[in-house]
Structure 1
Amino acid sequence: MNLISPTIQSLERALSTSALKQQTHTANIANVDTPGYKAKQVDFETALKNASSKQALASYKTDAKHIAFSNESSQFDPRVTVNENSDYKINGNNVDMDVEMAELAKNQLLYNAVTDRISGKFRSLSNVISGGR
């Protein structure tokens, strides 16, 4: 019997990814004036695609465009990549402050949504444990 639902496990992975993105973007902002520093980003989309392609069990889907899922935990491992392809500034630094601030704002929205959802899951569990009182 699995005491922690796959939904909670997925939400936990989403929170971990959000924390990794936060660390990455704040490191980029902290190094905005460091000569030769290359911006880093979390490759979330590729990790999600790889995790969904490794699923062992098929799921029931009502539309061909839905993402497949299973009850088994997948290997979801977002990677931090370095942007070596461009030089934004003359000193070799390629951190764009506007991009970093926009990414931080997007990440904050994701984090708030996931924490709200996981709080709801825990409230539901608490309600079941207490017998609905």
Structure 2
Amino acid sequence: MAENDLFGVHGTALAVRSQRMALLASNIANASTPGYKAKDIDFGAALKSAETGSSIDRGIVANTKYRLPTQMSMDGNTVELATEQTAFAENAVAYQTTLSFLNGRIGTITRALKGE
């Protein structure tokens, strides 16, 4: 039985959300780095790409885009801290939700294997 049969899209979603969290954290960490260009992953597009046969990594790379700032800074940095923090928090909640679903699924499978 393949991983997708057991976990459906949730395993892939967790991997994409994890990569997005790392990218958003990098944006936040570089908020004061002159010339740094903020990037984000289009989660829906990356997930769809991975579901249609592309590797997760290829889907992430293809759907990572530079974020367009609402206000340009003097030093060329495009990180808007409030935007990044909001995106990070929303992604963290979605990551935790996906992880909870997977933990529940694993618990169900474990109980079934034990005959409970």
Which TM class, normalised by the smaller chain length? 0.7 to 0.9
Alignment equivalent of 1:116, drawn from 93, 100, 108: 100
- The higher radius of gyration belongs to 1
Structure 1 segment 53-64 matched on structure 2, within 5 A: 54=52
Give the RMSD, CA atoms, in angstroms.
2.1
Q: What's the CA shift for 1:7?
A: 4.8
Alignment equivalent of 1:97, drawn from 81, 105, 109: 81
Aligned length: 110
The range that moved more, 26-35 or 6-15, is: 6-15
Structure 2: any 5+ residue segments left out of the alignment? none
Change (3 A) 1:3 1:131: farther
Structure 1: any 5+ residue segments left out of the alignment? 55-73
The range that moved more, 38-47 or 116-125, is: 38-47
TM-score, length-normalised on structure 1?
Answer: 0.72
Partner of 1:57: none
Partner of 2:40, secondary structure, is strand
Identity of aligned residues (%): 25
Alignment equivalent of 2:72, drawn from 88, 95, 108: 88
Q: What's the CA shift for 1:3?
A: 5.0
Partner of 1:38: 37
Partner of 1:78, secondary structure, is helix
CA distance in 1, matches of 2:76, 2:4: 47
